[in-house]
Amino acid sequence: MKFNNPTGSIVAMITPFHEDGSVNFDVLTQLLERQIAAGTDGILTLGTTGEYPTMSHEEDASVVAHTIKVVNGRVPVIVGSGSNCTATQIEKSVEYQDMGADALLLIAPYYNKANPEGMVRHFAETADKVHIPCLLYNVPGRTGCSIPVSVVEKLAKHPQISGIKEASGDMSYAMKIAHCVGPDFALYSGNDDITLPLMSIGGSGVISVFANVCPDVCRQIVADYAGGNQAKALETHLKYLKLMNDLFMEVNPIPVKSAMNMMGLNVGPMRLPLCEMSQEHQAALRATLEEAGLL
């Protein structure tokens, strides 16, 4: 399926594991079908929520292949192929493209970081090697560096770089991005709690953690706002805002996988260094899920 900067809810998929830590492909199939049945507008695999940093390259590739096979063109599949090594990022991007990915998500170069020119080259040289759209991923809380607005402005002119997942939570930064790029450059919220504010400045929707728990609700919020029913979108968004926030009471994806397990979706454990939530947070999350009518 061609990726044309869809407006809507794109789920940042968790990766389900067996108790021994291996990937649970049967549950992954169930989760993908659940998303599609709920009307999710796109699937992101191997994002932060998917725990790719603790998976081997072979596991990454197997999850991508399985996701593309199950989705079978029904919605676009975006694959996180980013790395803090440009050569590795290029290798993975080409591989996932050849496997059938519809678009790629490229994270800012974490740990080693980069100066602005190095960052431009890091993304541009990757985009030069593929023929499918690339989305930038700005998440300074994870990477220790933000993609400068000047870098985004330059990269937005690249024919293969079509948008950004903005997960800094900084509305001033988002406003500057919205100001300096054209209408063909998509701005996706990477934080569920500010999806509507980002859409109010021209955002295309959300790449969502919350959608793992409530895919139908997440899609409806974005659809209502985009369709002109902002009052209904706001009402629903505020109704679920506490749950959206509680899914980040510990480092993502610990709370969202915990919530899904409480809901009987059997997504399994996290991989170290991530581990189970504290008892106090588990009780608080369970209470929020009950309040939302999900348990």
Catalytic residue numbers read: 137, 165
With contact defined as beta carbons under 8 Å apart, do 125 and 86 qualify? yes
| Three-state secondary structure of the chain | CCCCCCCEEEEECCCCECCCCCECHHHHHHHHHHHHHCCCCEEEECCHHHCHHHCCHHHHHHHHHHHHHHHCCCCCEEEECCCCCHHHHHHHHHHHHHHCCCEEEEECCCCCCCCHHHHHHHHHHHHHCCCCCEEEEECHHHHCCCCCHHHHHHHCCCCCEEEEEECCCCHHHHHHHHHHCCCCCEEEECCHHHHHHHHHCCCCEEEECHHHCCHHHHHHHHHHHHCCCHHHHHHHHHHCHHHHHHCCCCCCCHHHHHHHHHCCCCCCCCCCCCCCCCHHHHHHHHHHHHHCCCC
User: Residue 87: CB partners within 8 Å, gap ≥ 6?
Assistant: none
CA atoms in the 13 A half-sphere facing the CB of 223: 12
User: By the 8 A CB rule, do 63 and 55 touch?
Assistant: yes
